[in-house]
């Protein structure tokens, strides 16, 4: 019988140095309430790397191999149900499932999981494995932040940092489907041509305006005037995953009672908010963590948001069900994120597979695309 393989670590540290591919013990048959899944694709998200580094408030599960505890990586992924245990009525073999809980250890070829820990995905010809693997974190984060903090209407405005990130791209596309305009901040690239290409790429997704962080810092007064003119000084929502001076400057353009929602800190710089914004404009600075939402949500809520994301892939509408004839007439409003599939074949030894893994991680650290792991049993 084939044995599953997983990307594991035995000590925290730099992912490209401490992660390795390990063959695991043969899986037991699923028991009552369990399922066996074959992971089709599993993304490597920044939070996963932070867990490995030991700087993220989450604990990875572990499995013992040859007397040593190996921590299992990965929160997101799409699995195909291979077998179900007694009492499992909601799932059957061949169903696709997304993860309904964090830290399930998705960077592996196959696993036995509690059926209650996954969310069945709607069958849809529009849903590719890449879409399915990446729909549990970034698109729901974008949707929840656009929906949960303020009431947005058509022609409302939202500003965000980190617009080229997975969440940032989802914000642009979901906002477009809602009829909401976006002001988007990105990093300058090495050349002006590269920066312009990034701006055009985001505009093609639906971004209304794109600025660079460096523009904001160099000429903050002019940029604040631009944003005020675009939004008519009505800017109720700021989605921040960067921090630093650019976030402080843009926060000054928010309208009274607006929400500044922070869900990341990629610059590793402090988030500084002038007291006057809190006192005189009643700006509300809050945080958002999708893992906490999942921990508090019901199975029905998780299923509903997965259904909405799939519907966005199919038709581009938010919060309403469409007939199949209308669905088929619309272009997808949620594109696959830029990605690279890293295949770890069953024919490779653990040592060879580990080298494949570390080469891919090193390339990503130098500006590569999002990695999706595709792993085979050994």
Catalytic residues: 56
Report d(CA 257, CA 149) in Å as an integer.
Answer: 11
User: Do the strands 20-23 and 62-65 form a parallel or antiparallel pair, or are they unpaired?
Assistant: unpaired
Q: Tell which residue, 123, 135, 79, has the closest CA to residue 104.
A: 79
DSSP H helices, 96-212, are 129-133, 138-148, 166-178, 192-205
Contact 149, 174 (CB under 8 A): no
Which sign, positive or negative, has the C-alpha torsion 92, 104, 118, 85? positive
Contacts 24+ apart (CB under 8 A), 327-332: 332/126
User: Do the strands 110-114 and 34-43 form a parallel or antiparallel pair, or are they unpaired?
Assistant: antiparallel
Contact 341, 328 (CB under 8 A): no
Q: Tell which residue, 238, 244, 319, has the closest CA to residue 281.
A: 238
By three-state DSSP, how is residue 64 classified?
strand
The phi and psi torsions of 96 (rounded to 5 degrees) equal: -95, 140
Which sign, positive or negative, has the C-alpha torsion 62, 64, 69, 70? negative
| Segment holding 363, helix H or strand E | helix 350-365
């Amino acid at each position: 019988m084939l044995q599953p393989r997983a990307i594991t670590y035995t000590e925290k540290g730099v992912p490209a140095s401490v992660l390795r591919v390990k063959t695991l013990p043969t899986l037991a048959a699923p028991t009552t309430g369990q399922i066996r899944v074959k992971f089709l694709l599993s993304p490597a998200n920044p939070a996963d790397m932070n867990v490995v580094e030991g700087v993220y408030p989450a604990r990875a599960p572990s499995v013992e191999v040859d007397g040593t505890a190996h921590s299992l990586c990965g929160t997101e992924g799409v699995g195909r149900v291979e077998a179900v245990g007694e009492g499992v009525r909601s799932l059957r073999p061949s169903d696709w499932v997304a993860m309904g809980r964090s830290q399930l250890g998705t960077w592996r070829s196959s696993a036995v999981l509690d059926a209650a820990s996954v969310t069945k995905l709607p069958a849809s010809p529009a849903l590719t494995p890449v879409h399915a693997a990446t729909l549990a974190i970034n698109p729901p984060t974008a949707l929840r932040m656009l929906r949960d903090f303020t009431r947005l209407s058509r022609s409302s405005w939202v500003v965000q940092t980190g617009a080229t990130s997975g969440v940032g791209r989802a914000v642009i596309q979901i906002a477009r489907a809602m009829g909401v305009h976006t002001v988007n901040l990105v990093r300058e690239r090495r050349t002006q041509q590269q920066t312009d290409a990034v701006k055009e790429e985001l505009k093609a997704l639906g971004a209304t305006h794109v600025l660079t962080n460096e523009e904001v810092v160099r000429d903050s007064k002019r940029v604040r005037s631009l944003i005020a003119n675009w939004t008519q000084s009505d800017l109720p929502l700021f989605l921040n995953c960067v921090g630093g001076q650019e976030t402080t400057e843009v926060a000054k353009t928010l309208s009274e009672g607006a929400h500044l929602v922070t869900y990341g800190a990629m610059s590793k710089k402090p988030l500084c908010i002038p007291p006057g914004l809190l006192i005189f404009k009643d700006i509300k600075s809050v945080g958002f963590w999708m893992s906490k939402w999942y921990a508090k949500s019901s199975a029905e809520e998780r299923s509903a948001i997965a259904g909405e994301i799939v519907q966005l892939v199919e038709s581009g509408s938010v919060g309403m069900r469409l007939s199949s004839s209308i669905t088929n007439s619309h272009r997808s409003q949620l594109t696959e994120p830029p990605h690279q599939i890293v295949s770890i074949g069953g024919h490779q030894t653990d040592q060879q597979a580990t080298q494949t893994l570390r080469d891919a991680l090193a390339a990503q650290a130098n500006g590569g695309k999002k990695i999706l792991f595709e792993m085979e049993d050994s």
